[in-house]
């Protein structure tokens, strides 16, 4: 594999995945020895190169603790808008989240990113073997909460202290209450100058605190990488 800087696409976002180069010809069987390429040091499938969060420069940091006060949660969510959000952005963000979770916990989890207006799937991956179809149901229920109320599923959980009955009664959900979840893990994506939610990022499979906070930290990592490189993300 080449160690050259990956090219930028037309949107100005660096290609985040370096794939192995396929051999176009076989070495001659008459040759006593064939030169071998040096081992590659490229990091495949990690859009930020190295994790933005490290322990001693070697391992990604563990997931932090989420904010608990509703006003603080909502204020922080609103402070993370993108300048633009495309399929490239979603893929890089989703890959970063998946790789970080794969490195720091053996628990299987789902990472999902969809557009808000159509639920078009932009990214979906599992972090480890063991994810069940029920995990996708949790993803869908958390996403619906974000799309209906315009804030994270964690924020709605904190608003009602996790009381799903009060939540259902407040909004007259009736039999449809089961379609929503006020457990942490789904976070809205916003774009500067655009009204409403543009996309939803969901992690499900860990504790609800971890599900929520790892998404928040992933969005923060986007801004951190942009501040360092200046051109990786359009945020």
What is the rounded CA–CA span in Å between residue 185 and residue 155? 10
* CA nearest to 186, candidates 207, 155, 158, 162: 155
What the chain holds in terms of domains, given with CATH numbers, is 70-229 (3.30.450.150)
User: In the structure encoding, which two tokens stand for residue 36, read together?
Assistant: 């071998």
- For residues 131-161, one letter each, b for 16 or more C-beta atoms within 10 angstroms of the residue's C-beta and e for the rest, the string is beeebeebbbbbbbbbbebbbbbbbbbbbbe
Q: What is the pLDDT along the chain (235 residues), one digit of tens a residue?
A: 444 444 444 444 444 433 333 333 334 333 444 444 444 344 434 444 444 554 445 577 899 999 999 999 999 999 999 988 999 999 999 999 999 999 999 999 999 999 999 889 999 999 999 999 999 999 999 999 999 999 999 999 999 999 999 999 999 999 999 999 999 999 999 999 999 999 999 999 999 999 999 999 999 998 778 667 765 444 3
């Amino acid at each position: 594999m080449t160690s050259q800087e990956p090219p930028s696409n037309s949107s100005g976002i660096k290609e985040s995945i370096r794939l192995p180069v396929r051999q176009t010809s076989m070495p001659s069987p008459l040759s006593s020895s064939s030169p071998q390429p040096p081992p590659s040091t490229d990091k495949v499938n990690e859009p930020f190169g190295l994790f933005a969060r490290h322990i001693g420069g070697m391992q990604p940091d563990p997931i932090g603790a989420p904010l608990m006060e509703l006003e603080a949660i909502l204020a922080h969510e609103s402070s993370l808008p993108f300048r633009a959000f495309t399929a490239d952005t979603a893929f890089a963000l989703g890959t970063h989240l998946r790789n970080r979770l794969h490195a720091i916990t053996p628990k299987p989890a789902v990472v999902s990113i969809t557009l808000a207006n159509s639920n078009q799937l932009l990214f979906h991956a599992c972090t480890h073997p063991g994810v069940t179809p029920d995990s996708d149901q949790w993803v869908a229920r958390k996403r619906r909460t974000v799309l209906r109320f315009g804030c994270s599923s964690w924020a709605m959980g904190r608003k009602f202290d996790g009381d799903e009955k009060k939540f259902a009664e407040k909004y007259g959900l009736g039999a449809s209450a089961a379609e929503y979840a006020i457990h942490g893990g789904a976070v809205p994506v916003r774009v500067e100058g655009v009204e409403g939610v543009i996309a939803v990022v969901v992690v499900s499979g860990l504790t609800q605190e971890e599900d929520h906070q790892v998404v928040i930290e992933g969005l923060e990592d986007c801004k951190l990488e942009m501040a360092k490189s200046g051109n990786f993300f359009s945020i």
